[in-house]
Structure 1
């Protein structure tokens, strides 16, 4: 399969990229980034682009893809709703709308536990993600929403959010305990990547909103 990847430099995206490069089912990965990647691989092409609200210039790069893995995201902390919506919703939908009309294409969006599908809840970030999910699910491709809770980085992946860089080393030491006491709330960067590849082969079957236990099961199916 040919994969189009967004967010390759973030913690989740790093893990997804790693699994794509390791998996024989993935033929190529086109990573849309704002600056060149610091890694190379025969399967990997970095597509440098700066305006994430308009992907018209990348029409050729978006052709012949079997799956789009959208891992780009930011924390809502300290952001106004319009700013957070621009990155979380507008960037995602701009990428989705730029894809060729292909009902067999699979789009996987990394959302989050607690996302508000009604779009009317109290939490701003949950409403914005809910709107993003709903619009993706209505589009003419096979869409899967991943709603992980705590994500454990497995292979040296690092968050680009400064605050998370302080939290994750501590949380990582607690991960074995977290996995025991709340197994339905945790997953790993490895499992997210493997699950994304696995759902491409589902051909639209199964649930289209996957939480941590579903992600972990899908990863095992791969």
Structure 2
């Protein structure tokens, strides 16, 4: 597989990149983002592009890929709805529309989140915007598109959040994760499991287009 990865410097993207580079059936990964990952690997190529709303200057480099793992995201904390919509809905759809035109045979995976509101009418701002984003992506002319809704993600294998507060939280939670998993198995996962689930969906598809945390863990188990 030839994979485009958006958001490789974020926590979810780091986990996805690790699993892609380990997978023998992944031929090449092109990491696209505003900054470089700092990693070196024979499979990894990087495309640093500041304005992800406009990919027209780099379109030639984005053609010929089988899969897109879209791991870009922002916390809604402290953001107005218009600002959050711009970096969530507008940016994601700008990328999605471009890739659907360049790679109509592509499988597109969007990392959303547990609690996303598919109706787009709920009280939670972030959940509404994520739901509208999912719905719009599912209408694009990809070969297939899947919406991934992980719950709590415990980073592993050196994967780190870019946010200092979150790094502290994950460090505290690491020894408690087995307890959390035992108590709430349907709502927690790891960066490794999520990355493995992405690859499993990329290879074989999935029985439904919106995959909750429990579904993702089951798919990850199929690759173990």
How far apart are residue 163 of structure 1 and its match?
2.5
Following the alignment from structure 2 to structure 1, what is the Cα–Cα distance between the partners of residues 94 and 70? Answer: 11
Are the counterparts in 2 of residues 3 and 66 from structure 1 also a CA contact under 8 Å? yes
Are the counterparts in 1 of residues 112 and 148 from structure 2 also a CA contact under 8 Å? yes
Deviations 1:87-119 (A, max 9, x none): 111111111111144443110010000000000
How far apart are residue 65 of structure 1 and its match?
0.4
2:89 corresponds to 1:81? no
1:1-222 residue pairs with structure 2 within 5 A? 1-101=1-101, 102-141=103-142, 142-203=144-205, 205-222=206-223
Following the alignment from structure 1 to structure 2, what is the Cα–Cα distance between the partners of residues 163 and 9? Answer: 17
Structure 2 spans left out of the alignment, 5+ residues: none
How far apart are residue 191 of structure 1 and its match?
1.1
Following the alignment from structure 1 to structure 2, what is the Cα–Cα distance between the partners of residues 40 and 89? Answer: 31
How far apart are residue 169 of structure 1 and its match?
1.2
Alignment: residue pair count: 221
How far apart are residue 62 of structure 1 and its match?
1.3
Give the aligned CA root-mean-square deviation in angstroms: 1.2
Which runs of 4 or more aligned residues in structure 1 lie more than 4 Å from their structure 2 counterparts after TM superposition? none
Following the alignment from structure 2 to structure 1, what is the Cα–Cα distance between the partners of residues 59 and 82? Answer: 27
Structure 1 spans left out of the alignment, 5+ residues: none
Following the alignment from structure 1 to structure 2, what is the Cα–Cα distance between the partners of residues 75 and 57? Answer: 28
Following the alignment from structure 1 to structure 2, what is the Cα–Cα distance between the partners of residues 104 and 217? Answer: 26
How far apart are residue 173 of structure 1 and its match?
2.1
Following the alignment from structure 1 to structure 2, what is the Cα–Cα distance between the partners of residues 171 and 123? Answer: 26
SS in 1 for 2:204: coil
